[in-house]
Amino acid sequence: MYYVYILKSETDASRYVGVSQNLQRRLLEHNNVTAKYSRSKRPYKLIWYSVFSMKKKAYAFEKYLKSSSGYAFTKKHLI
């Protein structure tokens, strides 16, 4: 299973969108020093996720959520 997830930084309220097969482990990585990009904006809180059985569809949906129309969709429908 593949999880597409949205995290919210409790530092500056920014969002992070990602994909992982182990959501619990990945959230721990974001809140520790192991994730380079998100290091300065921690701690993070999980605010939304969806489960996909196909890797290709999960990554396609992640890419969409990172686009401008996906960002608007997220604000209107997901969070």
Task: Give the fold, CATH level 3, of 2-78.
Answer: GIY-YIG endonuclease (3.40.1440)
Alpha-carbon distances, residue 16 vs 4, 23, 30 (angstroms)? 11, 13, 10
pLDDT for position 41: 84
Q: Residue 2: pLDDT band by 50, 70, 90 thresholds?
A: very high
For the chain, the maximum distance between any two Cα atoms, rounded to a whole number of angstroms, is 33
pLDDT band at 19 (very low <50, low <70, confident <90, very high): very high
Task: Work out the average pLDDT over 5-20.
Answer: 93
Residue 13 CA to residue 41 CA, distance in Å, equals 9
The pTM for the full model equals 0.90
Encode pLDDT of 24-68 as tens digits. Answer: 999 998 888 776 777 778 899 999 999 999 999 999 999 999 999
Q: Where are the domains of the chain?
A: 2-78
Structure tokens at 76: 């209107």
